[in-house]
Amino acid sequence: PIYLDYNATTPLDPRVLEAMLPWFTEHFGNAASRTHLYGWEAEEAVVQARNQLASTLGASEKEIVFTSGATEANNLAIKGTFEARRTQGTHHYITVATEHKAVLDPFRHLEQWGADVTYLTPSPDGLISAAQIAEVLRPDTVLVSVMYAHNEIGVVQPIGEIGALCRAHGVLFHTDATQAVGKIPVDVQADAIDLLSLSAHKFYGPKGVGALYVRKGVKLTAQLDGGRHERGLRSGTLNVPGIVGLGKACQLAAQEMSTESPRLKYLRDLLEETILQQVPDTRINGHRTHRLPQVTNISFGGVDGEQLLLHLNRLAVSSGSACTSASVEPSYVLKVLGLDDALAYASLRFSLGRFTTEAEVVAAARHVQEVVARMRNQVPFA
Ligand code: PMP
């Protein structure tokens, strides 16, 4: 099938694999071994990757904490902030109802620990404004967490405005930038970001490695205790090949963004316009312009969502729904944006990437058109 699910994960870029390979075999040292060459060269490779990542974010290398991915980075940012402030009275936190579960669930945890959490509802196009946040700020607000770009609908939030607001009120600002890093420019200084999460496998790096940017001076309590790696914020032997891959992947993404981004936008618009023109009763979810260049989320009125995915067997896309082992739930994100269950079910996320071609996009649009037409006309599938 044609892979249009790059927001779920991306293949490793062969250039990233090449950079990683020696760190599995001949250079296998533990980056924490200070007594011999094996350790020193592993440490040197980690330093280089840390610099590569820091420079693409506008950060200093001392502000990078390597983790197992964005889930862990979000947990460290949110629970680690709460724990570091635990003794200072009541705690209020602000986030958005459409955040990824890897943000919402740590906040549920904070509520169990006694924090107050406000879950803001974005406008129907998925945007949250700094003004909405200003309205619910309290004197005891500790942290605001708003994702940079949305995994399901691609909406890019006004992160700079939200960051400036938080900075002006002395409130910490965390952003889950998992879907933004490597796709659009992200600058922690310009956007006044204090904590930022990312995951390498979303930008052609390996799975199981990511990072948390922690602004100098921000206090966190570690969630993994042990050998005090990563300045005590994340113990555990460093995943050297993974970290090397992350560094290489973000360097490549930064180098290629200015050509890759318009190419993907052209392909995404082609896919979207073809489907919208040729398939009646369709709508795009999420803001049309404040959006990542390579993703579109489309609802198909009057078709059964489960059947739709089943019949689209030549495409690897994701439905707006999150599959758990027991049941297929309609996307909570689309429901927050006002879609009913049936329409949320019948929504597809198409996400394009580095290896997507125009021929694939044309074939994908044709396949969608044929399948939806057959379903609506109730023409049996052979
Ligand atoms: N946040 C967002 C916005 C994501 O899209 C993802 C991946 N689906 C995650 C967090 C979690 O990333 P990982 O599974 O690599 O920890």
Do 87 and 215 sit in the same domain of this protein? yes
Closest residue to atom 6 of ligand 1, CA basis: 178
Q: Which residue has the higher pLDDT, 103 or 329?
A: 103
Q: Is the pLDDT of residue 59 over 70?
A: yes
Do 202 and 316 sit in the same domain of this protein? no
Q: Which domain holds residue 93?
A: 14-253
**Quick check: helix, strand or coil at residue 244?**
helix
Q: What pLDDT does 319 receive?
A: 86
Q: What is the mean pLDDT of residues 271-285?
A: 97
Q: Calculate Rg over the CA atoms of the chain.
A: 22
Q: Is the pLDDT of residue 83 over 90?
A: yes
Do 304 and 244 sit in the same domain of this protein? no
Q: Is the pLDDT of residue 325 over 60?
A: no
Closest to 31 in 3D by CA, of 182, 288, 234: 234
Q: What is the largest CA-CA distance in the chain?
A: 72
Cβ–Cβ < 8 Å for 294, 265: yes
Confidence of residue 86 (pLDDT cuts 50, 70, 90): confident
Closest to 281 in 3D by CA, of 160, 173, 375, 203: 375
Number of structural domains in the chain: 2
Cβ–Cβ < 8 Å for 196, 70: no
Q: Is the pLDDT of residue 382 over 80?
A: no
CATH code for position 289: 3.90.1150.10
Which residue in the list 37, 168, 190, 323 is annotated as catalytic?
323
Q: Is the pLDDT of residue 322 over 70?
A: no
Q: What pLDDT does 182 receive?
A: 98
Amino acid (one-letter) located at 168: A
Cα of 326 from ligand 1 centre, angstroms: 21
| Cα–Cα distance, 64 to 169 (Å, whole number) | 25
Q: What pLDDT does 326 receive?
A: 59
**Which of 217, 235, 253 corresponds to the end of one domain?**
253
Q: Is the pLDDT of residue 324 over 60?
A: no
Do 296 and 211 sit in the same domain of this protein? no
In a domain, 3, yes or no: no
Q: Which residue has the higher pLDDT, 376 or 107?
A: 107
In a domain, 240, yes or no: yes
Q: What is the mean pLDDT of residues 311-329?
A: 78
Closest to 246 in 3D by CA, of 178, 195, 293, 150: 178
Q: What pLDDT does 220 receive?
A: 98
Q: Which residue has the higher pLDDT, 207 or 90?
A: 207
Confidence of residue 84 (pLDDT cuts 50, 70, 90): very high
Cα of 8 from ligand 1 centre, angstroms: 8
Q: What is the mean pLDDT of residues 366-381?
A: 91
Do 138 and 57 sit in the same domain of this protein? yes
Q: What pLDDT does 345 receive?
A: 94
Mind listing the pLDDT tens digit for each residue in 19-53? 999 999 999 999 999 999 999 999 999 999 999 99
Write out residues with Cβ below 6 Å of ligand 1: 69-71, 100, 102, 147, 151, 176, 178-179, 199, 201, 210
Confidence of residue 261 (pLDDT cuts 50, 70, 90): very high
CB count within 10 Å of CB 143 equals: 26
Q: What pLDDT does 321 receive?
A: 63
Phi, psi of 282 (to 5 degrees): -125, 155
Q: Is the pLDDT of residue 150 over 70?
A: yes
Confidence of residue 284 (pLDDT cuts 50, 70, 90): very high
| Cα–Cα distance, 181 to 187 (Å, whole number) | 10
Q: Is the pLDDT of residue 328 over 90?
A: no
Q: What pLDDT does 214 receive?
A: 98
Q: Is the pLDDT of residue 71 over 70?
A: yes
Q: Is the pLDDT of residue 79 over 60?
A: yes
**Quick check: helix, strand or coil at residue 47?**
helix
Q: What pLDDT does 90 receive?
A: 72
Q: Which of 10, 72, 151 for a ligand 1 pocket mutation test, highest count of atoms within 8 Å of Cβ?
A: 151
Do 221 and 96 sit in the same domain of this protein? yes
Let me know if 250 is a catalytic residue: no
| Average pLDDT of every residue of the chain | 96
Do 57 and 155 sit in the same domain of this protein? yes
**Which of 218, 253, 288 corresponds to the end of one domain?**
253
Instruction: Please report the beta strands in 154-230, taking only residues with DSSP state E, as ranges in sequence order.
Output: 172-176, 195-199, 210-214
Q: What pLDDT does 327 receive?
A: 66
Do 350 and 214 sit in the same domain of this protein? no
In a domain, 312, yes or no: yes
Cα of 178 from ligand 1 centre, angstroms: 6
In a domain, 33, yes or no: yes
ipTM passes above 0.95: yes
Cβ–Cβ < 8 Å for 202, 10: yes
- How many CA atoms lie within 13 Å of 64's alpha carbon, on the beta-carbon side? 26
Share of the chain above pLDDT 90, in %: 94
Do 95 and 107 sit in the same domain of this protein? yes
Do 164 and 271 sit in the same domain of this protein? no
End-to-end CA distance of the chain: 18
| Cα–Cα distance, 297 to 211 (Å, whole number) | 27
Q: Which of 12, 66, 71, 203 for a ligand 1 pocket mutation test, highest count of atoms within 8 Å of Cβ?
A: 71
Do 350 and 273 sit in the same domain of this protein? yes
Name the residue with tokens 């729904």: 321
Q: What is the mean pLDDT of residues 312-335?
A: 82
